[in-house]
Structure 1
Amino acid sequence: MRIEIWADVVCAWAFIGKRRLEKALGDSGAEVVWRPFRIDPSAPDQAVPVEEAWRDPMVDAALRECAPGLTPAENRVRISRIAADEGLGSRWGAAWRAGSHDAHRLLHLARVDGGAALQNEVAERVMTAHFIDGDDISDRRCLRDVAIRSGFAEGAALLDTDAGDREVRELLLIGKARGIATSPTIVVGDRALAGAQPPEVIAGFLAGGDRGREMPEEVRRLRWAESLLDRRDPLGALVLLKPLLDGHADDLNVRRVAARAYFHSAQLARARGLLERLVADAPDDAYARLMLGRTLRRLGEGDRAAPHLKMAAAMTPEFA
């Protein structure tokens, strides 16, 4: 069984969830893959001490949303007690508000280089550095040390390149498309379990097996792009569509979704180009005509838009 953990390494519940998953798995030998999630996308490039960060009203408000009914200080005490109960020790608590992008790059590169076992070791050491040692994991010097101590010396050198950057950013979009909204979220197939649930809950979830639907990778990527459009992220959809546009530019479905993404990101000239070719290739496509008409109208070409809008309404009355 392959288990994905979508989590942020600066999320305390991710480390707690890791321990609980390990208890639920025992020695089952399941493959565990770490996927990136960001709980604090606005974290500064230069880490700041957490005491300073907590004085920021926006950070304080976000922390209060995470634990309704508790002050941030009360929630920190609560999490520290839970972490101790999970065997993470009494010396607990991040010292820095740190960005996690490079740490996620390191995790991704570790899996590419050495598989799930190496990635899991890197994840353990990154979170230990952040929550127990009080290190700044946004500092590449810290991450280089983590990589070397994890047996991934190659990763130390890769951190100063852009290796893994595109892949991590794409995975963040895929997580968004799949509806991942909590760190950690355990995913098996098409099923998801949000939060650092107790081991017995995780075990029950895993007992359900992998009931994911088999589909070609290209189809899955297209569905993710559509999901991002539904979530009002047309630029993200275009990122996921790029390999499809490069390799399957003649596919009508790819062109339809790409045209929608261009339209909703106000790239109207590109939308028009795609839609004009689409209408020429599929003249009975009412939705393509509707989109072309709307695109031309937004471009100020009302006379050219009218015939397409009229024909779309005739073919599909709900488009009127």
Structure 2
Amino acid sequence: MRVEIWSDIACPWCYIGKARFEKGLAAFAHRDEVEVVHRSFELDPGRAKSDTGPVLEMLASKYGRTLDEARAMEEHVASNARSEGLGYLTEGRDHGNTFDIHRLLHFARERGLQSELLDVAYRANFAEERSVFTPETLLALGVEAGLDEAEVRAVLADEDAYADAVRADEREAAELGANGVPFFVLDRRYGVSGGQPAEVFTQALEQAWQGRALQPVTGDAAAPACDVDGNNC
């Protein structure tokens, strides 16, 4: 069975959702027969690569909030992350264009290290004071994930490398009706939206395994997610 997960490294609920999905998968009896593929979804595709800045200031500006209100928003997300055993910094993080990260994730999938790269990128972005929006950091993250340094450098230097794969993922997400992430598709017959609890993912895996038709997931239909307008992020 194949599970495809559309996500963006800039989305905190994707970070949390990955951890919850993996807990749900661990409780699934047929977990060793599940292939997990991570797909690309940019929450802010029009953002210039040179346009990076502090997350708190971005949130305050986008939602017309004070910095204290933006900080409270981040604390809410942080409490959810920490409840899953994840590190989360509410200050000192940057926000920027994620296209190059997605290109590198496609390359990592070819090398069998996609999940490993995603983990180190999430950790760098949310739990460490490391901007993941520079070629230097992306190179370091690729090496940390086990990729060959020269190959990572070559991918990052070629702006066309895996660009079509990223755009194809994004077109497919639109065709599937996904306007927010994380978005999980199980064997192309069952969909789960948002950072659902681990037990909901286990239930979804069991129902997909049984071959049931696509139906609404049991659980919180309003589970937190990041949408294309940046809501909840």
Aligned to 2:157: 160
* Preserved CA contact (<8 Å) 1:148 1:156: no
- 1:129 counterpart (108, 124, 130): 124
- 2:55 counterpart (46, 50, 54): 50
Tell me the SS of whatever aligns to 1:89: coil
* Preserved CA contact (<8 Å) 1:80 1:90: yes
Residue 149 of structure 2 is aligned to residue 149 of structure 1: no
Aligned to 2:216: none
* Preserved CA contact (<8 Å) 1:129 1:135: yes
* Preserved CA contact (<8 Å) 1:144 1:157: no
Note the residue ranges of structure 2 that are not aligned, 5 or more in a row: 214-233
* Preserved CA contact (<8 Å) 1:7 1:35: yes
Tell me the SS of whatever aligns to 1:208: helix
Point out 4+ residue stretches in structure 1 off by more than 4 angstroms. 90-94, 210-213
| Structure-2 separation of matches of 1:40 and 1:84 | 26
* Preserved CA contact (<8 Å) 1:93 1:132: no
Identical pairs, percent: 31
Alpha-carbon distance, 1:177 to partner: 1.1
Aligned to 1:12: 12
Note the residue ranges of structure 1 that are not aligned, 5 or more in a row: 64-70, 214-320
Higher helix share: 1
- 1:176 counterpart (174, 177, 195): 174
The two structures have a TM-score, normalised by structure 2, of 0.79
Aligned to 2:35: 31
Cα deviation 1:164-222 (Å, max 9, x = unaligned): 01111121111111111221011112321000100011111111125499xxxxxxxxx
- Aligned CA distance change for structure 1 residues 31 and 7 (closer, same or farther; 3 Å): same
What letter matches 2:156 in structure 1? L
* Preserved CA contact (<8 Å) 2:88 2:126: no
Aligned to 1:60: 63
* Preserved CA contact (<8 Å) 2:53 2:96: yes
Q: Which has the larger radius of gyration?
A: 1
Aligned to 1:234: none
Aligned residue-pair number = 200
* Preserved CA contact (<8 Å) 1:184 1:194: yes
- Aligned CA distance change for structure 1 residues 94 and 168 (closer, same or farther; 3 Å): farther
What letter matches 2:58 in structure 1? A
Aligned to 2:102: 104
Alpha-carbon distance, 1:72 to partner: 3.6
| Structure-1 separation of matches of 2:3 and 2:205 | 9
Higher strand share: 2
What letter matches 2:139 in structure 1? R
The two structures have a TM-score, normalised by structure 1, of 0.58
| Structure-1 separation of matches of 2:86 and 2:104 | 23
Residue 68 of structure 2 is aligned to residue 82 of structure 1: no
Higher relative contact order (CA 8 A, sep 6+): 2
Alpha-carbon distance, 1:37 to partner: 1.0
Alpha-carbon distance, 1:92 to partner: 5.3
Alpha-carbon distance, 1:94 to partner: 6.4
Cα deviation 1:269-316 (Å, max 9, x = unaligned): xxxxxxxxxxxxxxxxxxxxxxxxxxxxxxxxxxxxxxxxxxxxxxxx
* Preserved CA contact (<8 Å) 1:143 1:156: no
Cα deviation 1:210-264 (Å, max 9, x = unaligned): 5499xxxxxxxxxxxxxxxxxxxxxxxxxxxxxxxxxxxxxxxxxxxxxxxxxxx
Alpha-carbon distance, 1:53 to partner: 2.2
Cα deviation 1:36-95 (Å, max 9, x = unaligned): 112223433221122432343xx226x9xxxxxxx5433211110111110013545661
